[in-house]
């Protein structure tokens, strides 16, 4: 429903997760009877959680830990682990940087080139553990490094940026032909971010196995302040889920997974993301709070160290509990930052739904108050 902004401009009213709430149905269930499993292509997972490809969240060790806990850790293949043989001292330095100096020093640290042999080594380390292997590149580096990534034995390949479109236009460089790239590749590709019905539908038509939904909504992002761009996540996920439904009909039954990526700080946000159509969630801040996360209580994304226009900060998120406790409890806090899957199970049980696909059909209301 559009509203008048001024005489020459109208805008649609959209909603963030804080603006909505789920509503119980006529039945309830026991939490232990609820299923949180989901699958993408040939890969099945016990929980609908992907760890975001950020150096403060995913190292090879935490990718392995996520896999063993039933989720998926996605390694940033342009991060410190593929630039330095031993990035631990640099991670420690980033944690200790004074606030006013963090951006400049991080730009210097990340100026070190990505080394293909380290890409191979890090993915091999994850593969040797027996878990599903996933790595992420930005659209700008995909053409350069994808052959190395595929040769290393990646199972799921992510092309993740602030925004990814099926129609990038450039007067100076040959853009990545996403449809041809995905067709030629022998592994499932997940692409994003996307924040609108049209953009998501175009990405689905390229053959992507999944679409990441989100733009400038994370705790470490300043995209809204620097570029004036923001997509409130409840509406964005629901719009992309609408594109998935229509593409399912258009393609004769091809299902593309919708993964909410951004603005998911608590278990309640995860519940709401699935309620408006997400198949799974990609978590940054929520997992950066783990005591065994690489960021050590700090969180930052790749936008924070952009060489020309940083659009993120290194933020202190604190350390709440070990990763396993963040996901499965018991929770030492009552604010929705730990036992994320226990909360999801309880919400599904309380509202009467037995699995994630059913839960996507739950009644949602616009809440007339701030949720937190």
Spans of all domains in the chain: 18-366
Q: Would you tell me how many other CB atoms lie within 10 Å of the CB of residue 77? A: 28
- Nearest Cα to Cα of residue 57 among 271, 294, 265: 294
What per-residue confidence (pLDDT) applies to 237? 97
Where residue 169 falls among pLDDT bands split at 50, 70, 90? very low
- The answer on pLDDT for 170 being more than 70 is no
Q: What mean pLDDT comes out for the span 349-360?
A: 96
User: Counting Cβ atoms within 10 Å, is residue 303 exposed (0-12), middle (13-18) or buried (19+)?
Assistant: buried
User: Do residues 265 and 249 lie in contact, with contact meaning Cβ atoms separated by under 8 Å?
Assistant: no
Cα–Cα distances (Å) from 59 to 28, 80, 236, 270, 298, in that order, read: 39, 9, 29, 23, 14
CA distance 52 to 214: 12
Q: What mean pLDDT comes out for the span 175-180?
A: 80
- What pTM did the predictor assign? 0.94
Average pLDDT, the chain: 91
Least-confidence region, from 9-13, 91-95, 115-119, 164-168: 164-168
Q: Which two tokens stand for residue 339?
A: 């036992």
Where residue 57 falls among pLDDT bands split at 50, 70, 90? very high
Is CATH 3.20.20.70 correct for 18-366? Answer: yes
The C-alpha angle with vertex 310 and arms to 309 and 311, in degrees rounded to 5, equals: 110
Q: What mean pLDDT comes out for the span 318-329?
A: 97
- The answer on pLDDT for 42 being more than 60 is yes
What per-residue confidence (pLDDT) applies to 2? 86
What per-residue confidence (pLDDT) applies to 178? 86
Q: What mean pLDDT comes out for the span 156-163?
A: 84
CA distance 157 to 128: 18
Higher pLDDT among residues 302 and 370, named by residue: 302
Cα–Cα distances (Å) from 302 to 111, 136, 309, in that order, read: 12, 12, 11
Beta bridge partner(s), residue 22: 364
CA distance 264 to 284: 8
- The answer on pLDDT for 108 being more than 80 is yes
Q: What mean pLDDT comes out for the span 332-341?
A: 96
Residues of the chain with pLDDT > 90: what percent?
78
DSSP code for 18 = G
């Amino acid at each position: 429903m559009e509203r008048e902004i001024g005489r020459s401009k109208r805008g649609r009213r959209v909603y963030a997760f804080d603006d909505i709430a789920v509503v119980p149905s006529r039945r309830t269930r026991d939490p232990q009877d609820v299923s949180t499993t989901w699958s993408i292509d040939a890969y099945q997972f016990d929980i609908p959680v992907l760890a975001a490809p950020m150096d403060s969240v995913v190292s090879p060790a935490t990718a392995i830990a996520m896999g063993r806990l039933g989720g998926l850790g996605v390694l940033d293949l342009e991060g410190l682990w593929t630039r330095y043989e031993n990035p631990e001292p640099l991670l420690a330095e980033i944690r200790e940087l004074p606030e006013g100096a963090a951006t400049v020093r991080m730009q210097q640290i990340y100026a070190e080139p990505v080394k293909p042999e380290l890409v191979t080594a890090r993915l091999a380390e994850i593969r040797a553990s027996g878990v599903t292997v996933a790595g992420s590149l930005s659209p700008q580096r995909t053409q350069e490094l994808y052959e190395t990534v595929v040769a290393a034995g990646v199972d799921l390949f992510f092309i993740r940026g602030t925004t990814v479109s099926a129609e990038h236009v450039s007067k100076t460089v040959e853009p990545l032909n996403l449809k041809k790239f995905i067709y030629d590749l022998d592994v499932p590709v997940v692409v994003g971010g996307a924040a609108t019905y049209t953009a998501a539908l175009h990405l689905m038509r390229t053959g992507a196995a999944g679409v990441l939904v989100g733009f400038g909504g994370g705790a470490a992002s300043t995209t809204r302040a620097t570029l004036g761009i923001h997509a409130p996540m409840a509406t964005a996920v629901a719009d992309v889920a609408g594109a998935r439904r229509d593409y399912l009909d258009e393609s004769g039954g091809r299902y593309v997974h919708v993964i909410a990526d951004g603005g998911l700080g608590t278990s309640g946000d995860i519940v709401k993301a699935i309620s408006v159509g997400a198949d799974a969630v990609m978590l940054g801040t929520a997992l950066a709070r783990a005591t065994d996360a690489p960021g050590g209580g700090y969180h930052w994304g790749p936008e924070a160290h952009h060489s020309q226009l940083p659009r993120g900060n290194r933020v202190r998120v604190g350390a709440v509990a070990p990763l396993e406790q963040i996901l499965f409890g018991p929770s030492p806090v009552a604010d929705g930052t730990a036992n994320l899957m226990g909360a999801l199970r309880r919400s599904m049980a309380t509202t009467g739904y037995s699995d994630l696909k059913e839960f996507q059909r739950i009644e949602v209301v616009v809440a007339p108050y701030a949720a937190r």
